[in-house]
Amino acid sequence: MRTFIKLLMAFWAICVFAVEINAQSITVKGTVSSTEDNIPLPGVNVIVKGSGAGTTTDLEGKYQLNAGKDDVLLYSFIGMKTEEIPVNGRTTIDVKLKSDVSQLSEVVVVGYGSVDRKLLTGSVAQADSKELSNTINPDISSSLQGKVAGVQVNQNSGTPGAALSIQVRGQNSISGGTQPLYVVDGVPITSENLGQISYEGQGISAISDLNPNDIESISILKDASASAIYGARGANGVVLITTKSGEKGATKFSLNSYYGTQQIYKKLDLLDAGQFKQYVNDIAADEERPEVYSEEQINNNPVDTDWQDAVLRIAPIQNHQLTASGGGEKTKFYASTSIFDQEGIIIGTDYTRYSGRLNLDHKVNNKLSIDTKLNISFSENNRVPGDQTINGVLPNAISKPPVDPIYDENGNYVEQGFWDNPVANGSEADNVAESFRTLFNIGWDYRITDDLKFRNQVGLDYYHLMERRYEPTTTRRGAQSGGIGVSANTRVTKLVQNSTLEYNKYINKAHDITALVGSSFEIINDRFDFIRANNFPTNDLRYISGAGNIESATASGSEYAINSFFGRLMYAFKDKYILTLNVRADGSSNIAPDNRYQVLPGVSVGWRLIEESFMQNQSIFNDLKLRLGYGKLGNDQIGRARFLSLYGSGFNYNSQPGIIPVQIPNPDLSWEVTTNTNVGMDMAFLSGKLQLTADAYYNVTTDFLQFRPLPGSSGYAGFDQNIGELENRGLEFALNGTLLSNDDFQWTTNANISINRNKILSLYEGQPIINQGRGNNALIEGQPIGVFYMLKSLGVDPSTGELVMEDVNRDGLTNDQDQQIVGDPNPDFTGGISTNLNYKNIDLSIVSQFSYGNDIFNGTRQYTENMNLGSNDNQATRIDRRWREPGDITNVPKINGRFNNEITSHYIEDGSFFRLRNITLGYRFPVEWISKIKLTNVRIYASAQNILTLTPYSGMDPDVNYSGTSGIRKGTDFFTFPVPKMYTAGINISF
C-alpha cells in the first residue's frame, strides 16, 4: 500500500512538473525565404537548440513548432548560412537565409559525370538556369552571348530561328566542322544547319528546336584535358546541356509568359525621291548627257517611296510555358509544354516553335534506378532570301529607287527597273521550313556496391526538316517562269548507346579516387531529296505536284558511325593535389580504313595551395588553385566518304543512262588533330564573395583538311588531303563577385574577357587561298584565318576625285598583283558584363557584350555608294559629300570613279561594338499577399534588349556575317538581316 502511494505521488509530481513546463512553452510559426529573391524555401530545418526537437518548412516555406519563450531556434538549409534566433516570447518569426559561399560545393557537369568544382583541373565554364533566364533567349546559343569567357557567339543574322556561330577558343579547322559538339543529357545531338534551300547567313539551326527554359545548366568544356573524354569531336569544344528534373514533394506548377515587340535598331540613310533625281542628273552631266529630270520634277515628287519602311515592321514576340514537377520517394517528374512565336521585322519572316518535355526518374530499389527523358518539338520557319544575294527583300528595299511606286492605280505590284519589288517578294512568295524533332533517351543505373556503379543509356535523335519555296507569278522572277517551286526533305536519325562503369572511393579521409571506363556507339542515317520545278497552272497550286515542268530532282543518302572506348581517372590527396587522366579511342567511318582509329589522351593536374600549411595564416585568399593541362582532340567532321572513289549518275549519253567518276580516292585521309596546352588559376577573396578565374592556352591543329588541286589532264579538279596546320593562342579572365549582400539588398556582377590569336602555320606548298566570298577573305601562311586580301585604298585624290590604290609592285599599274592584306575579321578581344541587383522584392538585371578590333567588309556600301550604275539603284546620303571639283578634300570619290564598284579596302570598316543586350526590371509580390490565393510565387517584369549599340560601324548591325558559320568567309555584311531591338513584359506564377 505504501509503495502504491509513493508511486502515485511520484506520478502526480511528474504531471505537475510537465504542466508547469508546458505552461512556459509557446507555439512559434513563420516563413523562411531567401534573401536573394525572397522566394520561400521548402525543407529548411527548424530546430530548438539543445533539444533536438524541431520541424521542416513546407512547400510555401512555412513552419510551426512548440518552443520555450527563452529558447533559441536554429534555421539550417544546404547552401545557406545557419541562423540562430532567440524566441524572446515571440509567436511569429520570419527568417531570411543568406547564401553561404563556403558551403556551396558547386558540382560541375563534365563528360559522363560530374565533379566538385574545387577538384576540377580542366577548363570548364558553367551557366545555371537562373543565369540563363536573365535574358529573353529564343534559343540555347543566344543565351551564352557575352556570358562565358573563351566562347564567342556571333548572331550572323537577325532572322528568326537562324543559326548562330559559336567558337570555343578560336577556330580549329577550315574545311572541317568549326562548331562545338552539343550533348543533351548525355546524348550527342544533331546541331548543324541541314537546310538545302540556302539562305547563307540565315541557315536553319537544329539547336533552335530545343526550349532554353527547360535547361538546368550548361557546361562548356574548353580545353583538351576536359574534352578528351569526347575525343574525335572535342576539338571545337563541347557544350553539355542538362535539362531540369523533378524534386521530391507535392506537385509544383509554374506558368511563365511574356509578350513584346521588335523593331529595327538602325535604318540606312538613303536618298529620297528629290535627292535621287538630282543624283541621276549629276550622272547624266558627268556622262555629258541631257538632264533626265527638270527642276520642277525634282521639287515635285508624287511618288517618294521609302522602301525600307515598306518592308520593315514592328513585329510581336511571345512565349508561354507551363511546367509541372514533383514526386515522391520512388518517382520524380518534370513536365513542360510551351509555344514560342516570333515574327521578323522584315515582312515574310517568322518563327514558331511548339515543344513538350517529360523527364522521369524512378528508384526501383536501393540498387537500381531508371531515368528517361523525352522532348518533342515542331517548328515552322518562314524566311525570305537575303545575305549572299541581290534578289532578297532587304537588298531590293535598300537598292530600289524611291521614284518607283509599290502599287499601280489598280492595286497591282509595280515591277520596273533593275530591282524587284521587295514588297511583292516578301508578301507573295512562300519560303517555309518545317521541322519535327524527337529527342528520347532512357538510362538505368545499377549500384553493384557502395563504391561501384554501372550505367547504360540509349538515346534517339530524330530530325525531319521539310522545306518548301514558291515564287508566284505576282513576283518578277515567278512571272518569268510561270511560277517557281522548290521542295526539299531532310531526315536524320541518330541512335546512341553509352555504357559506363564508375568507381568512387574515399580512403582514410585523404585519398579521393574516381575511375570510369566506358564504351559508346553512334550511327547516323541521313536522307535527302530535292526537287525544283516551274510552269504552274495557277498560284493556288503551290506544291511540286502542280508543276508543268520538273527542272531538276536529286535524292541521296549516307550513313555515319563512330565506335568509341574511353576512360577517366581522378585522384585527389586531401583535396590538395589533384590528378585527372582522360583517354578516348574513336573509330570513325568518315576516316580512311588504315587511319580509322585514333587514341586521344588528356591529362591535367591541380594544386590547391589554399590547403597548404603556409597559407593558413594569410587573410587574402579564401581559395587558390593552380591548374595545368595537356591533351589531344580530334575532328572527324570532314564530310562523308571523302576517302573513296565515287561515281555520279545522271550523265546520260545517246538516251542511255551513264555514270562518270566524280571523286578521286585518298586512302591516306586521316583525322584533324588539335594539341592543347592549358595553364589556369582559380582564386577567391573576401570570404568567397569575389572569384577570379584566369586561363592561358595554346592550340595547334595539324593535318587539317585542304583541297589539293590537280592538273586538268587528270580529269579531276583535285582532292581533299591532310596538309595544313594552324594555331590558336589566348588568354581568358572571368570575374564573379558579390559586391553587397544584406537582408534587403544584394548586388552581384560577372565579367569576362577573352583574347584569342589564330594563325595559319602551313598550307599546301605554301600557296595562299585568296578571293573567297564577297569580302575577298584569304588563307595565307603566317596570317590569321580569313584576312581581307584586296587592293588597298589610300584615299581620294583631291585633283581627280578617283580612289587611289597602293601600287605594291611599283609597276605603274593597278591590278590583282597589287592585292594585299588590308584587314582582319577576327576581334582582338571579346567579352561581356552582367549585373544583378535585388532590393527587397525588386530585381534588376543588366547584360552587355562587346567585341573590339574586328574589321567588317561592308558589301552593302559597295552598292549604295558606288555611283557607277546609272539610275539602277538608290544611294546613301553619304554620297552628298562626294568629290565634285579639283581641290575638294573628302573620303567619298567622284561619280563614275574607276574603283567605286571594286572590292577594295575603301569598304572596310572597324566592326568593334559594345551592346547593351538586356535590361530586365522585375517585382516579386510578397508571400503574405499571394499565399491567400494559394500561390507561392508571382513575379512581373519588363525587359529591353539590344536597345543600345555603340560602334563606329556605319551599317545596320556590326554583329552579322552574310555567310553564317563559314570557316573562311568571315566578317562580311552584304544586305544582311539586322538584329532587332526588343521590348517585352512578362509574368512568372508558381503554385
E-assigned strands of 853-969?
855-858, 908-910, 913-924, 937-950
Pairing type for strands 646-649 and 621-635 reads unpaired
879 vs 857: CA distance, rounded Å: 18
The string of pLDDT tens digits covering residues 461-495 is 999 999 999 999 999 989 999 999 999 999 999 99
The string of pLDDT tens digits covering residues 906-957 is 999 999 999 999 999 999 999 889 888 989 899 999 999 999 999 999 999 9
670 vs 593: CA distance, rounded Å: 9
**CA angle (931 as vertex; 928, 934 as ends), nearest 5:** 175
Report the chain's mean pLDDT, rounded to a whole number. 89
Q: Work out how many domains the chain is built from and give that number.
A: 2
Q: How far is CA 225 from the centre of its chain?
A: 23
Q: Is the pLDDT of residue 285 over 80?
A: yes
Q: 208: which 3 cell numbers?
A: 533552335
Q: Is the pLDDT of residue 650 over 80?
A: no
Q: How far is CA 908 from the centre of its chain?
A: 27
Residues in the chain: 991
Position 885: which residue type? E
How many C-beta atoms lie closer than 10 Å to residue 78's C-beta?
11
Sequence-separated (6 or more) residues with CB below 8 Å from residue 467: 195, 196, 197, 432, 433, 434, 486, 487, 488, 489, 490
Element (H, E) at 803: strand 803-805
618 vs 625: CA distance, rounded Å: 15
- Grade residue 10 by pLDDT with cuts at 50, 70 and 90: very low
Sequence-separated (6 or more) residues with CB below 8 Å from residue 933: none
Rg value, the chain, Cα: 33
In a domain, 471, yes or no: no
Q: Is the pLDDT of residue 36 over 70?
A: no
Last residue of some domain: 97, 125, 157?
97
Return the pLDDT at 734. Answer: 96
681 vs 696: CA distance, rounded Å: 9
The string of pLDDT tens digits covering residues 711-748 is 878 888 888 888 889 999 999 999 999 888 887 899 99
The string of pLDDT tens digits covering residues 352-395 is 999 999 999 999 999 999 999 999 999 999 988 877 778 889 99
B/e letters for 527-560, b = 16+ CB within 10 Å, e = fewer, are ebebbbbbebeebeebebebbeeeeeeeeeeeeb
Last residue of some domain: 76, 97, 118?
97
Position 41: which residue type? L
The string of pLDDT tens digits covering residues 68-120 is 888 889 888 766 778 889 999 899 999 988 766 443 457 788 888 888 888 89
**CA angle (812 as vertex; 808, 817 as ends), nearest 5:** 40
Q: Is the pLDDT of residue 11 over 70?
A: no
Q: Is 876 helix (H, G, I), strand (E, B) or coil?
A: strand
The string of pLDDT tens digits covering residues 246-271 is 988 889 999 999 999 999 999 999 99
**CA angle (835 as vertex; 829, 838 as ends), nearest 5:** 175
The string of pLDDT tens digits covering residues 863-907 is 999 998 766 889 999 999 999 999 999 999 999 999 999 999 999
Q: 649: which 3 cell numbers?
A: 549518275
In a domain, 225, yes or no: no
Return the pLDDT at 535. Answer: 95
Closest CA to 211 of 158, 256, 266: 256
- Grade residue 201 by pLDDT with cuts at 50, 70 and 90: low
DSSP 258-303: EEEEEE-S----B--HHHHHHHHHHHHHHTT---SS-HHHHH--S-
778 vs 174: CA distance, rounded Å: 11
Closest CA to 157 of 380, 388, 313: 388
Q: 709: which 3 cell numbers?
A: 588541286
Pairing type for strands 855-858 and 972-973 reads parallel
Return the pLDDT at 12. Answer: 36
Return the pLDDT at 13. Answer: 40
Whether the Cβ atoms of residue 387 and residue 200 lie closer than 8 Å to each other = yes
Sequence-separated (6 or more) residues with CB below 8 Å from residue 327: 246, 247, 248, 249, 333, 361
CATH number of the domain encompassing residue 51? 2.60.40.1120
Sequence-separated (6 or more) residues with CB below 8 Å from residue 556: 527, 528, 529
537 vs 831: CA distance, rounded Å: 55
Q: Is 897 helix (H, G, I), strand (E, B) or coil?
A: coil
The string of pLDDT tens digits covering residues 152-184 is 888 878 888 877 788 899 998 887 778 899 999
Return the pLDDT at 870. Answer: 67
Return the pLDDT at 78. Answer: 62
Whether the Cβ atoms of residue 206 and residue 191 lie closer than 8 Å to each other = yes
470 vs 488: CA distance, rounded Å: 12
The string of pLDDT tens digits covering residues 302-358 is 999 999 999 999 999 999 999 999 998 899 999 999 999 999 999 999 999 999 999
In a domain, 68, yes or no: yes
The string of pLDDT tens digits covering residues 383-430 is 888 777 788 899 999 999 999 999 999 999 999 988 999 999 999 999
Position 710: which residue type? L
Q: Which residue has the higher pLDDT, 682 or 968?
A: 682
Last residue of some domain: 97, 122, 155?
97
DSSP 352-381: EEEEEEEEEEEE-SSSEEEEEEEEEEEEEE
Return the pLDDT at 99. Answer: 66
DSSP 744-781: SEEEEEEEEEEEEEEEEEE-GGG--EEEETTTTEEE-T
837 vs 148: CA distance, rounded Å: 20
Whether the Cβ atoms of residue 179 and residue 165 lie closer than 8 Å to each other = yes
Is 978 exposed, middle or buried, given 0-12, 13-18 or 19+ CB atoms closer than 10 A? buried
962 vs 392: CA distance, rounded Å: 13
State the sign of the Cα–Cα–Cα–Cα dihedral 585, 589, 591, 594.
Answer: positive
Residue 639: left if φ>0, alpha if ψ -120 to 50, beta else—which one? left
Domain around 64 = 22-97
Determine what percent of the chain is predicted with pLDDT higher than 70: 95
Closest CA to 104 of 619, 736, 612: 736
Q: Is the pLDDT of residue 202 over 80?
A: no
In a domain, 704, yes or no: no
Beta bridge partners of 153: 166
Return the pLDDT at 4. Answer: 37
- Grade residue 652 by pLDDT with cuts at 50, 70 and 90: confident
Binning the chain into helix, strand and coil, the percentages to the nearest 5 are 15, 50, 35
Closest CA to 974 of 875, 864, 874, 860: 860
E-assigned strands of 383-483?
430-447, 452-471
**How far is residue 508 from each of residues 120, 301, 512, measured CA to CA in Å?**
21, 90, 9
How many CA atoms within 13 Å lie on the side-chain side of 350?
19
The string of pLDDT tens digits covering residues 772-817 is 989 999 999 999 999 999 999 999 999 999 999 999 999 999 999 9
How many C-beta atoms lie closer than 10 Å to residue 368's C-beta?
12
In a domain, 350, yes or no: no
- Over residues 547-564, the mean pLDDT reads 93
In a domain, 235, yes or no: no
893 vs 629: CA distance, rounded Å: 54
- Over residues 704-711, the mean pLDDT reads 83
- Grade residue 37 by pLDDT with cuts at 50, 70 and 90: low
In a domain, 339, yes or no: no
Determine what percent of the chain is predicted with pLDDT higher than 90: 64
In a domain, 600, yes or no: no
Q: Is the pLDDT of residue 21 over 70?
A: no
732 vs 730: CA distance, rounded Å: 7
Specify the residue for cell string 524555401.
41
Q: Which residue has the higher pLDDT, 166 or 757?
A: 757
Return the pLDDT at 509. Answer: 85
971 vs 768: CA distance, rounded Å: 19
